[in-house]
Structure formats: structure tokens, C-alpha cells
Amino acid sequence: MTISAKPVIGVISNHVVEDEGAYIVKARYVDAVARYADAVPLICPSVEDVSDAAAIVARLDAILLTGATSNIEPGRYGAASGRAPFDPARDGMAAALIAAAMAAGKPVFGICRGLQEINVALGGTLVDQRDGTNQELAHHAPDGVDLDAMFAHGHSVDVVPGTPLAAIAGEGSFAVNSVHFQTIGAMGKGLVVNARAPDGVVEAVSSSGTAAPILAVQWHPEWRPEGRPHDLAFWRNVGDVARAYMGR
């Protein structure tokens, strides 16, 4: 039997689904890893006992932290309150996987909630647009719309020259979908802004001086990326970096 030479990328799962415990991830994330990153996706359960996170990471070539409908519990970034729904088991496993990957020198990628998890794990904070008065730019579609309309909502982002995102997707501006309420407040240690929305919201980050490469975006490149060169470039980079770190 010939073993695939493709890298194996761990995709974090969510734990709370319809008020019942589960280990589940939306198919579009898993499919994107397989189709566009040309890698083998492996779902990582968000078990409450995170002591085996290092053992999970040891069997992977990279980690992908996905988006989710839940928000990170506010106590994890020093806030007094936050907006439900929460997923404490996912919060714990995400933090443990990030720490284990960085200790092992393995790449970490994030999408939407994943970007926020990375920022919090590195000591940063989050803010919720719904709690403030600054509504210069809506980062989420109105309530009650279907998935097509939700992911059709978007805005432009300005890419910071000389950053990893600029290297893979090009400098200048491009349009992204936008499906989030929470945004980065204070930046986590070792993270560098790669793109911002016109209202200043951080839309992409990478690592600087960390043991492992990190790249995360606030939008959703996994949602029907065909025809969007910057999103396809994101996935090619996920696969290329994971391949470069195979066996380390």
C-alpha cells in the first residue's frame, strides 16, 4: 500500500451543536483543504480534556482553525461580558492546539473565529461591533437572510505591502465576504497586520518572530472560492506551507 505524500492538516471541530455535545465541522472547510490545498483533512475533536493536544499536533503537518457561529468566552481575553453562544470546549482545544503547534514549530492557519482564537491565544483582545457606536462599515449581513445572501455581503480590504498575504495574493485592494461581529481589539504578541478594512478593522494577520508560521484571515475563503484569485491563493499557500513542514 502506498501512503499519500500529501500533508495532513488538522481541522478543529465545534463541540456545541443544537444544545447537544458533538464533534462537527462544516463540510466546506474540510472540502477546501482537500480540493484547494491538495492536502488530507483530519478533523480534530474539541474534547474538554486538552492534555492530548501535543499528541494530536505531533501527527499533523499543520492546523486549521475554522469559523463558527459561537463566540470566544470573554474571560479568555479579559473582558467582563460577551455575547452568546459560547463553545468552551472549542475555546480550550483551540488554545491548546495553537500552543502545541507553536511549540512543535508547525504552521497554524485561521479563518474568522480562527483568527480571533489565534489573537486571544497570543494575549490579544476582541471587541464586538454590536456593543459600540462605530457602525461606519457593517461586517455582517442583516439577520434573517439565507446563506447565499449572508456570504454575498462584503467589503474591500487593503493589503499591507511586504506581508505574507501580499506575497501570496498581491498588494493593493480586493473584495472579501464579511460574516463576523467580533473583531481584533489589542493585537496578540508576535502578530503583524496583513490587511485592514476601510474602517480600520484588522482583516488578516501573520506571525513575526514565532517558532511556527501563522496566517489568518477574518473573511471566509472557503465559501465558493472559484473566481476569487486571492481566496484560491490562500488555499494554495495553506497546502504549500504544510508540505514544506511535512516530517518536521
Give all domains of the chain, ordered by start, each with its CATH number: 8-244 (3.40.50.880)
Concerning whether 222 is annotated as a catalytic residue, the answer is: yes
- Per the model's pLDDT, the better-predicted residue between 151 and 160 turns out to be 160
Strands (E), the chain: 8-12, 14-17, 20-24, 40-44, 62-65, 108-111, 126-128, 154-159, 172-177, 182-184, 191-196, 202-207, 214-217
The residue from 15, 112, 180, 203 that is catalytic is: 112
Considering the chain, what is the average pLDDT of its residues? Answer: 93
- Give the DSSP letter of residue 25: -
Q: Which of 208, 180, 182 is nearest to 194 (CA)?
A: 208
Q: How confident is the model at residue 57 (pLDDT cuts 50, 70, 90)?
A: very high
Q: How confident is the model at residue 1 (pLDDT cuts 50, 70, 90)?
A: very low
Question: Across residues 189-214, what is the average pLDDT?
Answer: 94
Concerning whether 112 is annotated as a catalytic residue, the answer is: yes
pTM above 0.85, yes or no: yes
> What's the CA gap between 183 and 116, in Å, rounded?
7
- Cβ atoms < 10 Å from Cβ of 56: 20
> What's the CA gap between 136 and 103, in Å, rounded?
39
Question: Across residues 43-71, what is the average pLDDT?
Answer: 95
Q: What are phi and psi of 108, to 5 degrees?
A: -130, 130
Question: Across residues 158-167, what is the average pLDDT?
Answer: 98
All three cell numbers of 53, joined, read 493536544
What pLDDT does 3 receive?
A: 56
Which range has the worst mean pLDDT, 23-27, 121-125, 243-247?
243-247
- Which residues, 6+ apart, have CB-to-CB distance to 134 below 8 Å? 199
Asked if residues 209 and 191 have their Cβ atoms less than 8 Å apart, the reply is no
Q: How confident is the model at residue 4 (pLDDT cuts 50, 70, 90)?
A: low
The residue from 15, 139, 180, 220 that is catalytic is: 220
CA distances from 131 to 83, 89, 127, 139, 179 (A): 9, 25, 8, 14, 17
Q: Which of 166, 151, 244, 155 is nearest to 204 (CA)?
A: 166
Assess whether pLDDT exceeds 90 at residue 80.
no
Assess whether pLDDT exceeds 70 at residue 135.
no
> What's the CA gap between 104 and 211, in Å, rounded?
8
Asked whether the bond before 45 is cis by omega within 30 degrees of 0, the reply is no
